[in-house]
């Protein structure tokens, strides 16, 4: 319905029609990671330094081989690439997956504009409006947005901080299955929890997928970052469900290249790939320079990843130890990615994270966190939890943890 608003000009009242945005736009959830940005911007204008632990933007340098390929490109016309991505890149990317013992060929890959587009295309390809998808929560916040855009219904399966956010019992999944259930989605290693699923857990999911003939979507962008000698198992390693599996990937975290916007959708299911390509054709092609850089990045030496993994291990160890030393705080040690969820002695994580930016400072500094409420689909979940991305150097992390410790001492909504 259009609403007329008065406009007064030369003492005469005129009316201007104001069209309403779509219901879909109204339903789209805000990002819990970015919704506090206006408060952070004001805090910076007021002269406070902010330690950004709210977003997975690493401070690790992008590999030189990737940057050099973009700088030294001889391209004179930036043309469209193939809708599935530059063939030479897909050829080499198939080899990358094969090094992880994944049976992936060039035709199994569609290059996307970031991992985000891979998720969106996968949902639009595999599901109809009104279908249900089971997702262990807490989960990557944008799954809420993508499922909303695709008219999917998320049925959350709750995992708990006390178990380190391990995969919930399969019985809990079965309780939520209805005739409308068409898929399961996981993130491994996990964002926002850092949990690394075991082969045993994935095999249990496999049996469920077979029993109910479900799609299994797996977001595996953090595979390079596994700690304490623990091994990464992909859904592509599971035999017997090749046609059920859709792998979602991105170079953003692997090469600290978030702005390149290059991801991938991978599946052995020919029907899925044929349908997904139509969505890829509708958006024309993924970014040319991002693909050039991504192809070159496949030559990144193992020493780069060894160094980065060692750095993240040190950061994780410091943050987890510092958090668990604070009064009333509990944080399990993650085995992958570069995130953790901490339980704090607070009344409401949204209020607390906003208060940190609006009202708190310690020696002119404060810390920006992501309220965990946005990583849950269940109502009122995560009210006393925050996600922390340990993507800053150790010196900054020490200052950030000190800010958080001091903040908890004076926060008016503290719960003892």
What is the gyration radius of the CA atoms in the chain, in angstroms?
Answer: 23
pLDDT of residue 1: 46
Q: How far from each other are the two terminal CA atoms of the chain, in whole angstroms?
A: 49
Q: Write out pLDDT tens, residues 336-347.
A: 999 999 999 999
Percent pLDDT > 90 in the chain is 91
Contacts of 32 (CB under 8 A, 6+ apart): 141, 370, 371, 372, 373, 374, 375
pLDDT of residue 31: 78
Q: Write out pLDDT tens, residues 168-220.
A: 999 999 999 999 999 999 999 999 999 999 999 999 999 999 999 999 999 99
pLDDT of residue 150: 96
Alpha carbons 248 and 87: distance in angstroms, whole number: 19
pLDDT at 318 over 50: yes
pLDDT of residue 155: 98
Structure tokens at 364: 């002119």
pLDDT of residue 93: 98
The CATH number of domain 30-56+303-410 is 3.40.630.30: no
The CATH fold assigned to 78-297 is 3.40.640
Mean local confidence (pLDDT), 301-328: 98
Contacts of 281 (CB under 8 A, 6+ apart): 83
pLDDT at 126 over 60: yes
pLDDT confidence band for 4 (50 / 70 / 90): low
pLDDT at 13 over 60: no
Q: Write out pLDDT tens, residues 297-308.
A: 999 999 999 999
Q: Which residue has the tokens 């945005």?
A: 21
Q: Write out pLDDT tens, residues 84-103.
A: 999 999 999 999 999 999 99
pLDDT of residue 86: 98
Give the residue extent of every domain in the chain.
30-56+303-410, 78-297
Strands 49-52, 245-250: pairing is unpaired
Question: Bigger pLDDT: 176 or 9?
Answer: 176
pLDDT at 138 over 70: yes
pLDDT of residue 237: 98
Mean local confidence (pLDDT), 2-31: 71
* Backbone phi and psi for residue 250, each to the nearest 5 degrees, phi listed first: -160, 150
pLDDT at 251 over 90: yes
pTM of the predicted model as reported, rounded to 2 decimal places: 0.93
pLDDT of residue 8: 52
Alpha carbons 82 and 286: distance in angstroms, whole number: 8
* Backbone phi and psi for residue 254, each to the nearest 5 degrees, phi listed first: -55, -45
pLDDT confidence band for 9 (50 / 70 / 90): low
Look over the chain and give the mean of its residue pLDDT values, rounded to a whole number. Answer: 95
Strand order in the sheet with 385-389: 339-343, 385-389, 370-371
């Amino acid at each position: 319905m259009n609403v007329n608003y008065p406009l007064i000009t030369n003492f005469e009242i005129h009316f201007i029609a104001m069209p309403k945005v779509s219901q879909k736009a109204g339903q789209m959830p805000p990002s819990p990671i970015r919704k506090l940005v206006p408060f952070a911007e004001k805090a910076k204008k007021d002269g406070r330094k902010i330690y950004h632990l709210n977003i997975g933007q690493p401070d690790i340098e992008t590999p030189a081989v990737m940057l050099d390929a973009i700088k030294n490109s001889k391209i004179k016309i930036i043309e469209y690439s193939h809708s599935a991505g530059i063939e030479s890149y897909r050829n080499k990317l198939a080899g990358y997956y094969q090094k992880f013992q994944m049976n992936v060929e060039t035709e199994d890959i569609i290059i996307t504009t970031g991992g985000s587009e891979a998720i969106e295309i996968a949902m639009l390809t595999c599901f109809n409006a009104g279908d249900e998808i089971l997702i262990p929560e807490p989960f990557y916040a944008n799954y809420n947005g993508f499922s909303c855009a695709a008219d999917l219904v998320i049925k959350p399966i709750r995992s708990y901080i006390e178990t380190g956010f391990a995969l919930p019992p399969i019985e809990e999944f079965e309780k939520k299955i209805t005739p409308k259930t068409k898929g399961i989605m996981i993130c491994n290693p996990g964002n926002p929890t850092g949990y690394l699923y075991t082969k045993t857990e994935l095999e249990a999911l496999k049996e469920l997928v077979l029993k109910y003939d479900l799609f299994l979507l797996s977001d595996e962008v953090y595979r390079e970052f596994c700690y304490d000698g623990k091994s990464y198992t992909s859904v592509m390693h599971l035999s017997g469900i090749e046609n059920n599996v859709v792998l979602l990937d991105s170079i953003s975290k692997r090469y600290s290249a978030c702005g390149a916007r290059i991801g991938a959708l991978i599946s052995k299911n020919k029907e899925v790939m044929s349908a997904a390509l139509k969505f890829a054709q509708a958006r024309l092609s993924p970014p040319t320079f991002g693909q050039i850089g991504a192809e070159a990045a496949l030559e990144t030496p193992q020493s780069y990843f060894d160094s980065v993994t060692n750095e993240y291990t040190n950061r994780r160890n410091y943050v987890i130890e510092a958090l668990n030393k604070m009064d009333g705080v509990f944080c399990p040690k993650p085995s992958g990615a570069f995130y953790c969820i901490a339980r704090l002695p607070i009344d409401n994580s949204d209020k607390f994270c906003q208060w940190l930016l609006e009202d708190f400072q310690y020696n002119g500094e404060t810390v920006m966190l992501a309220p965990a409420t946005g990583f849950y689909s269940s109502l009122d979940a995560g009210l006393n939890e925050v996600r922390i991305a340990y993507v800053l150097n150790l010196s900054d992390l020490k200052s950030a943890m000190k800010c958080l410790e001091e903040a908890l001492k004076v926060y008016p909504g503290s719960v003892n």
